Amino acid sequence: MSFEPDIAVVIVAAGDGTRLAAGRPKALVPLAGPTILERALHGVLSLPRPAQIVVVAPPAHVGETRESAERAVGAAIDALVVVAGGGSRTASVRAGLEALLPSVATVLVHDAARPLTPVSLIQSVVEAVEATGDAVIPGLPVVDTMKDVSGDDLVLGTVDRDRLRSVQTPQGFPRGLLERAYADDVAERTDDAATVAAVGGAVRIVSGDERAFKITTPWDLRRAELLLGAAGTRTGVGVDVHAVGNGGTLRLAGLEWPGEPALSGHSDGDAVAHAVVDALLGAAGLGDIGAMFGTDDPALAGADGGVFVRGAVDALGRAGFAPVNVSVQLIGNRPRFASRRTEAERAMSAMVGAPVSITATTTDGLGFTGRGEGVMAIASALVRSQRGGVLE
């Protein structure tokens, strides 16, 4: 099958990093092990939809940049294109746009120097572009008092900071709008949104994230290292509820339960497996089962819970995490769980690749579980960073 993504992420990594003073291009500087570029790619690779990745490299370091990028993308290498940048940011972005696949409709332009940008922020930009058809940029409210100052340092007044935002990347655009903005020689501007605005494009703001700060100085690099060190282990919680259906065979905790009616749902309704998925994804900051797999994808109709669990574990691996253990509390009157607890724990542990313990309880006849109308599962997951952590 040909690779025809509708999203592309152009990662600008062509800067020399003079202020970082690391003796090499900034994107190739190690950050708690992997390079800054690799860290930036981890977030992009955690998107729930496939995306073309175009890395714009320093012209004298294309080979080294390619090696670094390939280490990050691994099995997704078919999605990767590495091109040489130009003498300015504008020229580098234009070089990235020239490498886009015909299928791409939405383009994100992202700074490699923002390696801790969470996937949730990247996804919010994609969704806003697709929903509005406008350019979309993430921004944070300005918290310091802002002054308007003359050329000789005389304070002229206080600026209303409520109308100001500190802008981050990725910045997202409909492809046609961005290509039109860069079609001709344009003035060098500090971000792509300004270039788009110059040709009349509308630009919208979505909420930014403190973790998407830019590494510019050694102080910034150390801050990123400390944040990654703090992310050694993380926890997540998942909750899932399914009603009892009218037929079929129950699938729960990775097992079939002959004689018990199936739980309703687009897939197999395995509340235990689905809660485990949300707990794992939540621990790594990768969203939830609905965002990653969709709630009505025809390809997943009737799919067993293991499909989602294994998919979540794969997503964790791409983001630099591995499961440590999962604990699940199953709440419901049926099925009688105790006799198959060990079997269920083995099945779920095999899916997760780490120990899964399951306890079960009833609600003494109270609520929908007590009336036998459905079951609930609550899962807690602990995950470990494999690459120093990715703050998602």
Question: Is 111 marked within a binding site?
Answer: no
Question: Is 363 marked within a binding site?
Answer: yes
Alpha-helical regions (H) of the chain: 36-45, 62-73, 89-97, 119-132, 175-181, 192-197, 218-229, 271-283, 289-293, 305-318, 341-352, 367-370
Which candidate, 191, 42, 203, places its Cα nearest to that of 133? 203
Question: Is 61 marked within a binding site?
Answer: no
Question: Is 368 marked within a binding site?
Answer: yes
Whether omega for the bond prior to residue 170 falls within 30 degrees of 0, making it cis, is yes
Question: Is 290 marked within a binding site?
Answer: yes
Gap between the Cα atoms of 243 and 23, Å rounded: 60
Give the contacts of 108 (CB within 8 A, at least 6 positions apart): 7, 8, 9, 10, 51, 122, 125, 126, 169, 170, 171, 172, 173
Which candidate, 332, 354, 215, places its Cα nearest to that of 279? 354
Question: Is 137 marked within a binding site?
Answer: no
Query: How far is residue 171 from each of residues 9, 174, 276, measured CA to CA in Å?
Result: 10, 11, 33
Determine phi and psi for 230, rounding to 5 degrees: -75, -10
Using the 8-state DSSP alphabet, how is residue 70 labeled?
H
Question: Is 18 marked within a binding site?
Answer: no
Q: How many residues does the chain have?
A: 392
Tokens of 249: 């065979």
Q: Cβ distance 148 to 49 under 8 Å? A: no
Question: Is 249 marked within a binding site?
Answer: no
Question: Is 241 marked within a binding site?
Answer: yes
Name the amino acid, one letter, at 338.
A
Query: How far is residue 227 from each of residues 149, 211, 212, 213, measured CA to CA in Å?
Result: 35, 9, 12, 12
Name the amino acid, one letter, at 175.
R
Alpha-helical regions (H) of 18-172: 36-45, 62-73, 89-97, 119-132
Question: Is 180 marked within a binding site?
Answer: no
Question: Is 240 marked within a binding site?
Answer: yes
Question: Is 267 marked within a binding site?
Answer: yes
Question: Is 289 marked within a binding site?
Answer: yes
Binding residues: 240-242, 266-267, 274, 288-290, 361-364, 368, 371
List binding-site positions for a divalent metal cation: 240, 242, 274
